[in-house]
């Protein structure tokens, strides 16, 4: 993603000024970062993917993904990504986005939800990001044989609090018997499409977070002196940092490929669950997840014992990397899906699939 556009530049400027380590620590203690949210909302970033006619900023899909990478880099401790996702799927169903923080459900593929003809939802969803901090939830559901999107008031749902490895809210949401505020038909926008979109979003956030961790490790290796010279001068540290840089570059490229596939599919009318899109998103979620595992370990090793202290903000990004790996499908789930596509295509199509020349 290029940082030359105004959406990414605005996001970076706001987050550099307001998303401080102290703010992230306070958020992890349960304090909603209201001032940061209000600034992001006033700038239009929270509804960046919502067209003008539905109350949003109407930004390009690619620009929104660039903003999400910046959010991952700064370990933003509020539902910016989730509100952007919610706004996008609501607009696809012809529903205007309300102001305030939103989230989406379900996050896990097994938690598919249904809605009756009277607009009453049935089912529950696990580990919903920031549910207790939101005002509305966007829910892809099945109504008979039709794909619909429901707008639900969070206050109408039963919430069982939980948290992620990063200390962020990950709550169980019981929607059974909840009446939707609005329901709109959205062909092809089911819970599987949400999995694809969410995996691409998390891949961008992880790519940004890993880049931040790498930069912190590089800065530490330059400034930390042992045995009379910076530790970055030792060959073992140089080798580790080079490996981490390679993982970060691979993660960024994979995440961008997934974002590009989605950005190209939407205006062309190609379903988000089409094979071409799923291949790119699956590859991204797998590769970025692997990079997050290897890269975060290296960054902590470079920092030594200091890397595991609460005062150092390295853990703000690494704990989110570990959390995001499992959301909207982990590496194992996407590997099985990608392998299934490869097996169905057969041996003659394997090389074109791997190289991208099809």
Residue 312 lies in a domain: yes
- pLDDT tens-digit readout, 78-93: 999 999 999 999 999 9
Instruction: Give the end of a domain, one of 170, 185, 200.
Output: 185
Whether residues 67 and 157 share a domain: the answer is yes
Say if residue 171 is in the same domain as residue 214: no
159, 185, 211 - which closes a domain: 185
Give the DSSP letter of residue 78.
S
Q: Does residue 326 lie in a domain region? A: yes
Does the pTM surpass 0.85? The reply is: yes
Tens-place pLDDT, residues 42-60: 999 999 999 999 888 889 9
In this structure, the answer to whether residues 175 and 204 fall within a common structural domain is: no
DSSP 222-284: HH-EETTEEGGGSHHHHHHHHHHHHHHHHHHHHHHHHHHHHHHHHHHT--TTSHHHHHHHHHH
Cβ-Cβ contacts under 8 Å for 298 (sequence gap 6 or more): 217, 240, 241, 243, 244, 247
Q: Are 240 and 300 contained in the same domain? A: yes
pLDDT at residue number 115 = 95
Calpha distance 321→323 (Å, rounded): 5
Task: Give 166's DSSP letter.
Answer: T
To which residue do tokens 């926008």 refer? 189
Q: Domain range for residue 135? A: 6-185
Q: Is 247 exposed, middle or buried (0-12, 13-18, 19+ CB in 10 A)?
A: buried
In a domain, residue 160? The reply is yes
Q: Which of 123, 157, 185 is the last residue of a domain?
A: 185
Q: For the chain, give percent helix, strand, coil, nearest 5.
A: 60, 15, 30
Instruction: For residues 209-217, give the mean pLDDT.
Output: 97
Residues 203 and 151 in one domain: no
pLDDT of residue 55: 85
pLDDT at 4 over 60: no
Domain match, 162 and 302 both: no
* pLDDT at res. 1: 43
**pLDDT score at 357:** 55
User: Are 46 and 154 found together in one domain?
Assistant: yes
**Together in a domain, 254 and 168:** no
Confidence of residue 227 (pLDDT cuts 50, 70, 90): confident
Question: Domain containing 98 — which CATH number?
Answer: 2.40.110.10
Domain count, the chain: 2
Mean pLDDT throughout 207-213?
98
Per-residue pLDDT band for 354 (boundaries 50, 70, 90) equals confident
37 versus 54: the higher-pLDDT residue is: 37
pLDDT tens digit sequence for 119-143: 999 999 999 999 999 999 999 999 9
Looking at the structure, tell me whether residues 21 and 111 fall in a common domain. yes
1 part of a folded domain = no
Mean pLDDT (the chain) is 93
Integer Cα distance of 51 and 22 in angstroms: 34
127 and 221: one domain? no
The tokens for 213 are 């961790």
- Are 236 and 157 within one domain? no
CATH of the domain at 332: 1.20.140.10
Query: In the chain, what percentage of residues exceed pLDDT 90?
Result: 82
User: Same domain, yes or no, for 142 and 261?
Assistant: no
Q: Is 205 inside any structural domain?
A: yes
Q: Is residue 94 part of a domain?
A: yes
Tokens read off for 168: 């962020």
Judge contact between 261 and 280, C-beta under 8 A. Answer: yes
Where residue 358 falls among pLDDT bands split at 50, 70, 90? Answer: low
pLDDT in tens, 163-204: 999 999 999 999 999 999 999 998 888 999 999 999 999 999
């Amino acid at each position: 993603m290029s940082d030359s556009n105004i959406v990414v530049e605005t996001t970076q400027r706001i987050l550099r000024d307001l998303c401080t380590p102290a703010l992230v620590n306070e958020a992890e203690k349960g304090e909603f970062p209201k001032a940061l949210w209000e600034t992001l909302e006033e700038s239009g970033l929270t509804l960046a993917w919502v067209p003008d006619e539905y109350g949003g900023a109407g930004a390009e899909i690619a620009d929104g993904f660039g903003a999400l990478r910046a959010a991952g880099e700064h370990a933003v401790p509020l539902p910016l990504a989730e509100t952007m996702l919610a706004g996008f799927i609501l607009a696809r169903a012809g529903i205007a986005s309300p102001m305030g923080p939103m989230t989406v459900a379900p996050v896990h593929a097994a938690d598919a939800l249904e809605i009756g003809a009277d607009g009453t939802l049935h089912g529950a969803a696990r580990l919903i990001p920031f549910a207790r901090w939101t005002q509305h939830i966007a829910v892809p559901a099945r109504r008979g044989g039709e794909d619909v999107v429901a707008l639900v008031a969070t206050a109408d749902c039963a919430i069982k609090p939980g948290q992620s490895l990063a200390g962020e809210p990950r709550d169980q949401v019981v929607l059974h018997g909840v009446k939707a505020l609005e329901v709109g038909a959205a062909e092809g926008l089911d819970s599987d499409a949400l999995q694809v979109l969410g995996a691409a979003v998390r891949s961008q956030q992880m790519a940004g977070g890993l880049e931040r961790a790498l930069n912190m490790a590089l800065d530490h290796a330059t400034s930390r002196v042992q045995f009379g010279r910076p530790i970055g001068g030792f060959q073992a540290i140089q080798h580790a940092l080079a490996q981490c840089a390679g993982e970060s570059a691979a993660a960024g490229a994979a995440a961008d490929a997934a974002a590009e596939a989605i950005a190209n599919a939407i205006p062309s009318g190609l379903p988000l669950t089409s094979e071409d899109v799923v291949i790119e998103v699956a590859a991204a979620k797998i590769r970025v997840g692997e990079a997050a595992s290897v890269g975060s370990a290296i960054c902590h090793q470079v920092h030594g014992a200091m890397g595991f202290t609460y005062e150092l903000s390295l853990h703000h990004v690494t704990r989110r990397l570990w959390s995001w790996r499992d959301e909207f499908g982990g590496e194992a789930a996407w590997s099985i899906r990608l392998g299934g596509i490869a097996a169905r295509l057969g041996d003659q199509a394997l090389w074109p699939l791997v190289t991208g020349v099809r």
